[in-house]
Chain A
Amino acid sequence: MAITYTSGEQVEVYRFSIPATILIPLTAVFLQAWLPLRFPFFTIFDLPLLVTIGFATARRNPLAGLFTGGLIGILQDALTHQPIGLYGISKTVVGFGASSLGIKLDVENSGARFLLTLLFYGVHEIIYFLIARGLVSLHLEWSWTHEIWSGVANAILGVVLYALLDRVKQRT
């Protein structure tokens, strides 16, 4: 069992099997595209983001986190009509940040996971907003109310989703 030592604490590092590594992000992207047709409110959730954070915090490897986030984001971008890279860049940063923070913090309990998801949801939205406005000239509107409620909703769903991911992750 590989253990990393940070600030005197033992932090376990996990990995996912190859089928899980491929199928879970694909399923998340698929559900993100399919569920809003049946449940329009589902657009406030960002399942690929939650999977990115879940993978990054479990693996605790910044490089793996940024590449996973980048690929998931690009896949998500490819389904939209916007230029490819908006979600890619945002999720690359989130993947890197979540895995870096996962090394330093204990993210095994629900409270920490809730706050971590809330934080990175905000980071993701800010980066997306800045790139969309600054680089692509999209006229997005920033609404604090909407973002806070969406962040809380995603954090709650994230806690549930991470519990499910715990079942498929393997200790290295």
Chain B
Amino acid sequence: MDVLGRYRNLIVLVGVLFAQVLGLAVQVKRTTDGESTHLIRIWAVGAVTPLEKALGWVQTSTGNVWHNYFYLRGVRAENRELKQEIERMRLEQARITQDADQARRLQALLAFKEQFISQTMAAQVIGSSGSEQSRSVYIDKGEHDGIKTDMAVITKDGVVGKVLRVFRSTALVLLIDDQSSGVGAILDKTRLQGILRGTPAGEVVLEKVMSDENVPVGENVLTSGGDGIFPKGLPVGKVTKVVPGSDLFLNIRVRPAADLNRLEEVLVVTKIDERQAQPDQSGAMRAVDILAERLPTVPTKPENPAEGAVKPNAAPPTATTGSTPPGTGVAKPKPSIGIGGTATATPQGTGAANASTSTTGAVKKPLENPLTKPSSPPVNPAEKPKPQPPAQDTPQ
């Protein structure tokens, strides 16, 4: 008894340590983490997050007052710059829309399935784990808001992480720079695939890219969609350093696109749709039709023969009258032939392409190969119509 009293403190210490080590071993052995320690985590999160939420609310309110009432200097100049930016982006958008239309048609031909982010939920970051070894943050949306585990979390800049644990009104998000995270990724131009992981030092590396591949510094890294969590094509980051690894793979450092150290608001992807790509036109499109879009413009054929010189071998007008030439079958919407390789297909209902009838009044006609049917007059560069104005809107 005397010995027990003498070493009481030490015995208690050993007992407490043993209990904790035992608990740790049980947690490590169980593959489904969270069940045995769920209650402790709920208590801890319940004790800390209300204060974090309150502080976040105060901070947001103060920030709103500042931004809405006091921080208006230079707004006009900024507005002017933004308008110019919008104009520039509209031009860019028109080009991208046409490329996207074509990509969709090609995907439809190949029966590709696409993933779409159909629903997101905005959430505010209210806290972190507070540990260098656990790179995770808490958001102010939880089970009550429909958040579930393994939902992707993104910002406008790129991928942030995934929902790891869900509580009643908060959720724990594992960041992509944590060493236990993993994101299926693909390099934008070289199309090399790998796995994006965090390191103990908090860096992000792309693994499983063979060392004989050439990966340029500065290349964009996107999600590959292979992990089943992140939809394909979301920006992840940029390659900053490529060095040969110790094994067969390259050691590729990636700077995350989203600033993971200064997260304030994020989007939780609550619904992803997967559907087969549909072309904007009704009916399947042949590869030859797509190729034909790239061919040079066929100039306008005058509707009234009196207005232009009639050539003996000129083709009769077709689509302008809405009539179908004998033997051509039912007139289906076909793409008009564009200018200088600009895709001007006329999918129904798309803003960009509805302007496809050129400014010269080029008529839609059943597709025919202008190279084999020289019924139209040759293209005269002097008469070349002006390019169409870009589409102003793209209905969603």
Contacts and interface: CB of A to CB of B under 8 A. Distances in A.
B21 A85 contact: yes
Nearest to A140: B200
Given A62-B13, A84-B40, A128-B133, 14 more contacts: A34-B127, A63-B9, A66-B13, A78-B40, A78-B43, A79-B44, A81-B136, A81-B178, A83-B27, A84-B24, A85-B21, A93-B13, A141-B199, A141-B200
A32 B44 CA distance: 13
B330 interface: no
A32 B138 CA distance: 13
Interface string B135-168: 0111000000000000000000000000011000
A84 B23 contact: yes
A80 B133 contact: yes
Q: Is the interface of A mostly helix, strand, loop or mixed?
A: helix
A102 interface: no
Nearest to B127: A33
Interface size on A, as a range, is 35 or more
A79 B126 CA distance: 13
Contact of A78 (B37, B128, B136): B37
Interface in A53-86: 62-63, 66-67, 70, 74-76, 78-86
B25 interface: yes
A136 interface: yes
Interface in B261-318: 261-263
Given A85-B23, A89-B21, A80 B125 contact: no
B133 A66 contact: no
A135 B164 contact: no
Given A37-B128, A88-B20, A81 B172 contact: yes
Contacts of B261: 40
A164 B393 CA distance: 62
Contacts of B133: 80, 82, 86, 128, 132, 138, 140
Contact of A33 (B41, B128, B164): B128
Contact of A85 (B24, B33, B48, B125): B24
A74 to B, nearest CB: 7
B129 A80 contact: yes
B20 A34 contact: no
A36 interface: yes
Contact of A83 (B8, B33, B164): B33
A81 B180 contact: yes
B242 interface: no
Contact of A89 (B8, B24, B178): B24
A78 B41 contact: yes
Contacts of B17: 89, 92-93
Contacts of A66: 9, 12-13, 16
A167 interface: no
Contacts of A115: none
B201 A141 contact: yes
Counting chain A CB atoms within 10 Å of each CB, which of B16, B55, B137, B199 scores highest?
A: B16
A54 to B, nearest CB: 18
A136 B199 CA distance: 16
Contacts of A100: 9
B60 to A, nearest CB: 13
A67 B130 contact: no
A141 B201 CA distance: 7
Given A43-B131, A85-B21, A132-B133, A79 B13 contact: no
B174 A81 contact: yes
Contacts of B130: 29, 32-34, 36, 43, 76, 79-80
A141 B200 CA distance: 6
A28 B52 CA distance: 13
Given A70-B16, A81-B180, A33 B48 contact: yes
Which 3 A-B pairs rank lowest in CB-CB distance, beginning with the nearest? A78-B44, A80-B134, A32-B130
Contact of B55 (A34, A87, A138): A34
B45 A79 contact: yes
A18 to B, nearest CB: 16
B12 A84 contact: no
A138 B179 contact: yes
B319 interface: no
Nearest to A73: B20
B129 A33 contact: yes
Interface in B178-213: 178-180, 199-201
A127 to B, nearest CB: 10
A119 interface: no
Given A62-B9, A81-B164, A34 B128 contact: yes
A138 B134 CA distance: 11
A36 B262 CA distance: 9
Contact of A76 (B13, B131, B200, B262): B131
B28 interface: yes
B47 interface: yes
A26 interface: yes
Nearest to B23: A85
